[in-house]
Structures are given as C-alpha cells and as structure tokens.
Amino acid sequence: MSRTLVLAANWKMNKGPAATGEFLDPFLASIGSQAGACEVIVAPPFVSLPAAAAKLAGSGVALAAQNASQFDSGAYTGEISVGMLQELGVKHVILGHSERRSIYGETDEVINAKIKKVLDAGLHPIFCIGETLEEREGGKLETVLRTQVRDGLVGVSEEGLLNSVLAYEPVWAIGTGVTASPAQAQEAHAFVRSLLADLYSDEVAQKVRIQYGGSVKPGNSAELMAQPDIDGALVGGASLDPKDFQALIANALA
Ligand code: PEP
C-alpha cells in the first residue's frame, strides 16, 4: 500500500507574523516541486496564520493550526473556533498534542470532541497520541495507545478517519533530543495500525497515514521514514529552521 508521505511543521509558540515571513520566503524558494511529491504542512501560532496564508497561497504547502475549540462560538475566552480557522485558509488542525494533554489538561473526551468538530467543518485533524517514559517502562505502551486511539475516535466515521492523519509521538522523545529508534517507532506504528484495523477494517487501516514525531532531525529522519508503517513526520524543533525542514522533506523523498 503506498501512502503519500506527510511532513508537518509544528512551530509551537514560536514565530510571530514577521518571523513567519522570514521563514517562508527562503523555505518556499528551496523546496521547489518537492511539495507536490509529498504533503507539506506548516502550523504557525494563531496570530501568524494570516501572514502564513498570504505566503503559502499557490505554493502547494498547506496551512495548519495548532489547536481549535470544541465549541462553535460564545463565552470561551481565549479560544479560537474551527470556523475562524477556516476563514483564514487553515486545512489541518493538530489535536491531542502531548503539551495540550499534559499542560492544559485535555482529556481523550475533549480531544474527541475537537476531532469531530474539525471533521464536521471539512478540515483535517492531525491526531497525536503517545506514551510517557513512565508508561513505556511500566509496560503500558499498548494500553495507553489503545485508550487514546479508541477514545479519541469515538463516533468518527471511516471517512472521517481517512480525512485524518495520526501522529505517534512518544512523549519522552518530544523536544528532548532523544528519538525512538526506527525499530521502536515501527513497532508502535504497526500496533496503532492494528488498532485501526480492529476499530474499522484492515483495508481502511492500510490507507491511514501515521506520522512519527519526537526529535526528528535531518540526521535521523531517513531511517525513520524508511520504516514501512511510518508515513511522514510531525516536527517541532527542527521545523524552525527553513534549511532543516527542507532537508527533512528531501530525506523523506530520497
Ligand atoms: C512536536 O512537538 O510535535 C515534536 C515532535 O517536537 P520535537 O520535534 O521538537 O521533538
């Protein structure tokens, strides 16, 4: 089964509108036609979305948000709705990131509501899952992933799943410089795909793209991307430098 690779940049709370332009000018010039050979997505902070949308128009690189509210509108101070994101040209929304889970207390139930809200609007969730080091060392890897996948996808149709990308991000590898070995990552990805096969069907599971995330860098990405169940990367730190992010795309296509 050939799945189009998907490389996404999660800038987290980095790069305001000016810095977004400073990144995108050289980045877009350097990637040329590569954005057609794989899917490339950039997720700036909310305030930089308009600047990014203006630069990305016609480039083949898609715009993502790093979060969205599960509500449509109203008294939710500080929140941003899916409709507002849509108005800015956002196509993908990162949901369930471990920083949202651990720092902001987002539960599987909240993440599930957000996933459904994003899908209902015709946008594409990038649904993040992953275990902490304590959970892995305690032998709970499979239980944690099973719960996150099952509860995050409650009520999500087969079509909804196919409009989503999953991102396996072991929490212990995010921003730490420690990456999962290609074998560890492949094993987890194959397990996640087996969960999707149980919940939907093997045919559907084979079509779903599962990105790896966690200290992906130009020096370690080729081996990770070569694993049969790894379909791209969700990249934090190394996506902040246009040369590094371009190198990750080049490695994925090599
Ligand atoms: C992330 O935040 O999704 C991530 C994978 O970060 P980093 O690449 O910096 O580990």
pLDDT at 33 over 90: no
For residues 14-32, one letter each, b for 16 or more C-beta atoms within 10 angstroms of the residue's C-beta and e for the rest, the string is bbebebbeebbeebbeebe
- Mean per-residue pLDDT, 43-62: 97
- Between the CA of 87 and the centroid of ligand 1 the distance, in Å, is 27
- Residue 236 Cβ contacting ligand 1 at under 6 Å: yes
- Minimal-distance CA residue to ligand 1 atom 6: 236
Angle, nearest 10°, between helix axes 141-152 and 108-120?
40
Q: Tell me phi and psi for residue 92, to 5 degrees.
A: -130, 150
Which one of the listed residues 39, 131, 135, 169 is annotated catalytic? Answer: 169
- Minimal-distance CA residue to ligand 1 atom 4: 236
d(CA 222, CA 103): 31
Which one of the listed residues 97, 106, 131, 189 is annotated catalytic? Answer: 97
Of the candidates 122, 124, 101, 110, the one whose C-alpha atom is nearest the C-alpha of residue 71 is: 110
- Mean per-residue pLDDT, 104-120: 98
Of the candidates 46, 36, 84, 51, the one whose C-alpha atom is nearest the C-alpha of residue 66 is: 46
Amino acid letter, 167: A
Query: Token pair of 99, please?
Result: 């920083």
d(CA 191, CA 211): 13
- Residue 166 Cβ contacting ligand 1 at under 6 Å: no
d(CA 144, CA 128): 12
Identify the pLDDT of residue 49: 98
Decide which of 34 and 159 is more confident. 159
- Residue 188 Cβ contacting ligand 1 at under 6 Å: no
Confidence of residue 253 (pLDDT cuts 50, 70, 90): confident
- Residue 96 Cβ contacting ligand 1 at under 6 Å: no
Confidence of residue 254 (pLDDT cuts 50, 70, 90): confident
Confidence of residue 37 (pLDDT cuts 50, 70, 90): confident
- Residue 10 Cβ contacting ligand 1 at under 6 Å: yes
> Which atom number of ligand 1 is nearest to the Cα of residue 167?
3
∠ CA 50-56-61, nearest 5°, is 125
pLDDT at 36 over 80: no
169 a catalytic residue: yes
> Which atom number of ligand 1 is nearest to the Cα of residue 237?
9
- Mean per-residue pLDDT, 123-148: 97
Tell me the three state secondary structure of residue 126: strand
pLDDT at 236 over 90: yes
Q: What is the mean pLDDT of the chain?
A: 96
> Which atom number of ligand 1 is nearest to the Cα of residue 169?
5
- Mean per-residue pLDDT, 102-125: 98
Decide which of 36 and 6 is more confident. 6
In terms of C-beta density within 10 A (0-12 exposed, 13-18 middle, 19 or more buried), how is residue 228 classed? exposed
pTM: 0.97
pLDDT at 131 over 90: yes
Amino acid letter, 108: D
- Between the CA of 173 and the centroid of ligand 1 the distance, in Å, is 8
Identify the pLDDT of residue 204: 98
- Between the CA of 75 and the centroid of ligand 1 the distance, in Å, is 31
Tell me the CA distances in angstroms from 173 to 92, 212, 238, one per residue in order. 23, 10, 13
Domain ranges, ordered by start, for the chain: 6-253
The CATH number of domain 6-253 is 3.20.20.70: yes
pLDDT at 104 over 90: yes
pLDDT at 1 over 70: no
pLDDT at 45 over 90: yes
Q: What share of the chain in percent tops pLDDT 70?
A: 100
Identify the pLDDT of residue 229: 98
- Mean per-residue pLDDT, 162-182: 95
